[in-house]
Chain A
Amino acid sequence: GQQLNQSPQSMFIQEGEDVSMNCTSSSIFNTWLWYKQEPGEGPVLLIALYKAGELTSNGRLTAQFGITRKDSFLNISASIPSDVGIYFCAGRGGSQGNLIFGKGTKLSVKP
């Protein structure tokens, strides 16, 4: 079945630094989504991408849908303490209605 590899598993950074994380899939996806999950809460949608090559920003967050349609990355610029959480990529390929989720990247920001 389809699998997503998300990296890195965890990051420890200083406030103000930029962050980059990515996901790769074993097959072509037609949708990439990025979610953030904070402790005790459900994942919250950050950015949705629907076209290969698409680059979309949401404040300090920028995500891109890879040209090969098998990867996506998320960048966070000038990180702040409230960026702490687990970031998940999710993708959908073919005609399935369900999303495949990565294992998550745990972000820690040191003030």
Chain B
Amino acid sequence: DAGVIQSPRHEVTEMGQEVTLRCKPISGHNSLFWYRQTMMRGLELLIYFNNNVPIDDSGMPEDRFSAKMPNASFSTLKIQPSEPRDSAVYFCASSRRTSSYNEQFFGPGTRLTVL
């Protein structure tokens, strides 16, 4: 079975450019999460969706960050304009959300470097 798919795996861009990260969750999962991982701050939740609807975006650092989930099988995280401090590994995770099921499955991540 395919796991969570993320693209690209690596992205190098210059400050000020727009960056779009993509995620395809596991089929049948109805919750999707975007995380950012850095050495200093560890794993931080940026935003999550239930049934394609954003539920909590309090972790989104600034208005430069935006996320969409137009359908159950696709989500994007966009940074515009990008800054060097945005350099990190960005993970997408998905889960089947029920009252008792909380297991999230992670994609391989996108390593973003902003020069």
Interface residues of A (CB under 8 A from B): 31, 33, 35, 40-45, 48, 50, 88, 90, 92, 96-99, 101-104
Indicate which residue in B45, B91, B103 contacts A42 across the interface (CB closer than 8 Å): B91
What secondary structure prevails in chain B residues at the interface with A?
strand
Residue of B nearest to A4 (CB): B42
Measured as residues with beta carbon below 8 angstroms from the partner, the interface class of chain B is: 20 to 34
Complex Cα gap A97–B104 (Å):
10
Q: Please tell me which one of the listed residues B104, B107, B108 contacts residue A99 in the complex, with CB atoms under 8 A apart.
A: B104
Contact with A97, one of B56, B105, B107, B109 (Cβ below 8 angstroms): B56
Give the residue of B33, B91, B106 whose beta carbon is less than 8 angstroms from that of A98. B33
Is there an interface contact between B56 and A98, defined as CB atoms closer than 8 Å? Answer: yes
CB-defined contacts of B56 to chain A, threshold 8 Å: 96-98
Q: Is the CB of B106 within 8 A of A42?
A: yes
Report yes or no: B102 in contact with A88, Cβ–Cβ below 8 A.
Answer: no
Tell me which residues across on chain A come within 8 A of B4, comparing CB atoms: 42
Give me the 9 closest cross-chain CB pairs, A-B, nearest first.
Answer: A42-B106, A101-B43, A31-B102, A103-B42, A43-B106, A92-B102, A42-B109, A98-B45, A42-B108
Tell yes or no: B66 within 8 A of A by CB. no
Count of A-B residue pairs with CB < 8 Å: 49
Interfacial chain B residues near A97, Cβ < 8 Å: 31, 48, 50, 55-56, 97
B residues apposed to A, CB below 8 Å: 4, 31, 33, 42-43, 45, 48, 50, 55-56, 91, 93, 97, 100, 102-109
CB distance from B92 to the nearest CB of A (A): 9
25 pairs of residues in contact across A and B, judged by CB atoms under 8 Å? A33-B102, A33-B103, A41-B108, A42-B4, A42-B91, A42-B93, A42-B109, A43-B43, A43-B106, A45-B103, A90-B104, A96-B56, A97-B31, A97-B50, A97-B56, A97-B97, A98-B33, A98-B45, A98-B48, A98-B56, A99-B45, A99-B104, A101-B42, A101-B43, A102-B42
CB-CB under 8 A from A102, the residues of chain B are 42
